[in-house]
Amino acid sequence: MGGGSWQAFYASDAQGVYALLPVPALFLAFWLLRAARRRRAGEPALRFLGLWAPLFALETLLDPLVSGLFARALGLEGAASLALLIPFVLLGDFRIYWLLFALGDPEARPGPAAARAACWTLLVPLAALALFFGAVRSLAPGAPGQGIWLVYELGFCGVALWLRRRWVPELGGIGARRARCLRLVLCYVLCYYALWAACDVAILFFSLDAAWALRALPNQLYYAFTVPFVWAAVQRACAESADR
């Protein structure tokens, strides 16, 4: 891949750092202003949301700052830079699994959901490593390293589809509105992972420079808008339940 104009834009701090910060920063300020009202008695889902949302709004702010600006300030490259990035990649998936398993529990207990989410978080990365360095590199020894991210993205799409179609319908005791909320969150996750995968196909197989510009969209969905989207979806589901 050449250093086309859109690829240079994608690699810039304007796209990779600064454009990702305003929305989570504004959300965190909004949450702090509403701190006195962020929990509602008798609503386990909202109590969990009051823990989950500010924690991952803060993590969203730290991710591009630490893995981007901080890593470059230290002069980290290659494996060292990747070692700093990987924990944030895992946290990005953990936040979704933790949310799903907590809201899939009628009491939304954070502890058991976190333990389960930690195990699930390793599923796609380990499968992607095994598939890429086993099957893909055996069939195509010259496959670029970026290909592992495509395998990862497709794998997470598969897991999200399975959770939406098989896992959510089998949940009991959480009510139709919370189940619909979980399906909506999984659709949102599918959107950014499918967009990433489509962009990587265009880049890896067709060397399409414009795909780097499109790749900024799933970045915004993943970094900037996930926490506000989840907040709005869970708040709406709980408000509808309370109105009945």
**pLDDT given for residue 2 in this prediction:** 45
CA angle 48, 68, 127 (to 5 degrees): 65
Residues 128 and 150 sit within 8 Å (Cβ to Cβ): no
List the helix and strand counts (H, then E) for the chain.
13, 0
**pLDDT given for residue 137 in this prediction:** 78
Pairwise CA distance, residues 167 & 161, whole Å: 9
Pairwise CA distance, residues 154 & 87, whole Å: 20
10-243 architecture in CATH? Up-down Bundle (1.20)
Phi, psi (deg, nearest 5) at residue 210 = -65, -20
CA angle 127, 115, 125 (to 5 degrees): 15
Place of tokens 């990433």: 196
**pLDDT given for residue 167 in this prediction:** 98
pLDDT digit string, tens, across residues 43-88: 899 999 999 999 999 999 999 999 999 998 999 888 888 899 999 9
**pLDDT given for residue 6 in this prediction:** 96
Rounded to two decimals, the pTM is: 0.94
Residues of the chain with pLDDT under 70: 1-4, 35-42, 241-244
Pairwise CA distance, residues 145 & 200, whole Å: 12
The domain ranges of the chain are: 10-243
Pairwise CA distance, residues 58 & 65, whole Å: 11
Pairwise CA distance, residues 242 & 244, whole Å: 6
Pinpoint the alpha helices (H) of 135-175: 137-139, 147-162
Q: What is the chain's Cα-based Rg? A: 19
Q: Give the count of beta carbons closer than 10 Å to the beta carbon of residue 21.
A: 16
Render 166-212 in DSSP notation, one character per residue.
IIGGG--SS-HHHHHHHHHHHHHHHHHHHHHHHHHHHHHHH--THHH
**pLDDT given for residue 242 in this prediction:** 61
Residues 103 and 174 sit within 8 Å (Cβ to Cβ): yes
